[in-house]
Structure 1
Amino acid sequence: MQKKRNKLTQRLGTNLELFSNPHKNIIKRHTTTHSLFKRELLEKQKIQATYQITASTLKTIITKLKHTKTKLKTLIKLLETRLDNVLFRAGVCPTRKSAKQLIVHKKIKLNGIRITKRAKIIKKADIIKTPFIIKATNKHFIYYKNKFKIKKTNYYKKYIKQYNEFLLTRTLT
C-alpha cells in the first residue's frame, strides 16, 4: 500500500498530505510536458487522491456548485469541512483512511449523535466527541478532553493554492 501511495505521489508530482507527517512522501518532478487534457486529468486526480473520494462523489459535489461564482474556493471549502477531513486536520487521526475507519465503526459523535457517514459537513458550532483523549494542538480548533470544535472556518484557504484553477475549469463546469 505504501508503494502505491508513493507511485501516486510521484505521478502527480506533489505531496498529497496523505499522512500527518509531510516528510513521508518523496516527490520527484517529471521533466516532460503533458498535453492540456492530461494536466486537467492529473489535477482532478490530485483532488481525488488528496481527499480520498471517488469520481462519482466529486461529481455530486461539483453539481452542488453550479450556482456559485468562485467554484474552486467553494469546492475546497466543502471538501475541507467534511467530517473525515476535519478529524485528520485536527490531529485526531494520522490519516484520512483511519478517520474514515473511526466514523464507519460509530466511534465519533457529532453534537451527541453517532455519525456513520464521512461526508457530513461540519459547521463552526458543532462539537465532535471522540472515544479517546486528544493530545493534539492546532490554532483552528478548540480542544477539550475528548471533544473539539472548529474555532475558525477559514482554515481551508491555505489549501486552495495547491490546485490550478485554470486546469480545473472544465471539471468544475
Structure 2
Amino acid sequence: MHILDDTDRAILHYLQEDATLKTRELAARLNLSYTPVYERVRRLEKEGIIKKYVALIDREKVGKKLMVFCNIALKEHSLAMGEKFVEAIMAIPEVLECFNISGDYDFLLKILVNDMPEYQRFLMQKLGSLENIGSTHSLFVMGEIKNQSEIQVVQSRD
C-alpha cells in the first residue's frame, strides 16, 4: 500500500468533490506549481488509487425512482456456478452494485428501476431466469438518509 501524504490526501479530496478540476485549478488550491500536482495525480492514477472519473447522476431525475436491495441465496455453492452467477449479474444493467456477503444470503444486489411493476418484471424475467438462485429477499428503499461517494482518506497508522 502506498503511503499518502497531506498533499495526496488533499488532491483526492478535491477530485472527489469535483472531478472536472483541471491540474492548474488543483495546483492553485494546493498552493503548488503545475508540474508536481500533475505528476502526483498521474501517480495516483497509475497506482490505481484513482480508479476512474465519473459523473454522478440524480437517479430520480432520470426516472429511476425505486431503489431495491435484493438478497440472493444460491442453490449450489460450486466455483463454476458462482462464477456463472457473477457473470450473469455483471451483464444486467439494473444491478448497480453486487456484493458477495456472509450470513444467510450469498449476495446483496443494489438495483434501480422506474417503479414496482418494472421491478416485478425484472425479478421474474431477469433474476428468475438465472438457474442457480435458490431464494431472494427484496428490501425497498423508502427514503435516502445519506448517500455519499467521497471516501475520507486518513493518514495510515503503520
Q: TM-score over 0.5 for the alignment? A: no
Looking at secondary structure, tell me which structure has more strand per residue. 2
Q: Which has the larger radius of gyration?
A: 2
TM-score w.r.t. length of structure 2? 0.29
